[in-house]
Amino acid sequence: MRDPQVAGTTDNFHWAIYDIGGAARALPQGIPGGASITAPLTARQTTSSFGGAGYFYACPPMGTGTHNYTFVIHAISVATLASPPTDRSQIEAAVAGVSLGSTTLVGTYSR
């Protein structure tokens, strides 16, 4: 999840979750923070641009209007990524070689 509209930043990266099992059909509410998740599903998360692993909610700066939050979802050809990425650039590089396809979802939010 990224917010590409924040002025003066090169990477406003809110969240990445990966190594989600193929049987998962949805993400549950309340996924705990932290790099590794063991319940309610098995997955891993990277560190956001704001520090700390886990989801960092949509929160555009006051007075900046509506922001577009971009989610990119990949289907990959392996069960787990070979070397666990720790940030956005590493996860994009790791996924590039094993992506079978992707789609993008954009949600909007304003304060």
Query: What pLDDT, in 10s, does the model give residues 8-18?
Result: 665 688 888 88
Residue 82 located in a structural domain: yes
99 has pLDDT over 90: yes
Residue 83, token pair as written in the block: 């070397």
Distance, CA of 35 to CA of 65 (rounded, Å): 32
Q: How far apart are CA 37 and CA 51, in angstroms?
A: 17
Predicted confidence (pLDDT) at residue 21 exceeds the cutoff of 90: no
Domain assignment of residue 36, yes or no: yes
**pLDDT at residue number 9:** 62
Residue 10 forms part of a structural domain = no
pLDDT of residue 10: 59
In a domain, 1, yes or no: no
The parent domain of residue 39 ranges over 17-109
> Does residue 74 lie in a domain region?
yes
Q: Residues 64-91: pLDDT tens digits? A: 899 999 999 999 999 888 777 777 788 8
In the chain, the number of structural domains is: 1
For 28-60, write each residue's pLDDT tens digit. 888 888 878 876 678 888 888 888 888 888 888
Q: Is residue 38 part of a domain?
A: yes
Instruction: Quote the pLDDT of residue 69.
Output: 92
Q: Is residue 2 part of a domain?
A: no
Q: What is the pTM for the complete model shown?
A: 0.82
Q: How many CB atoms lie within 10 A of CB 44?
A: 19
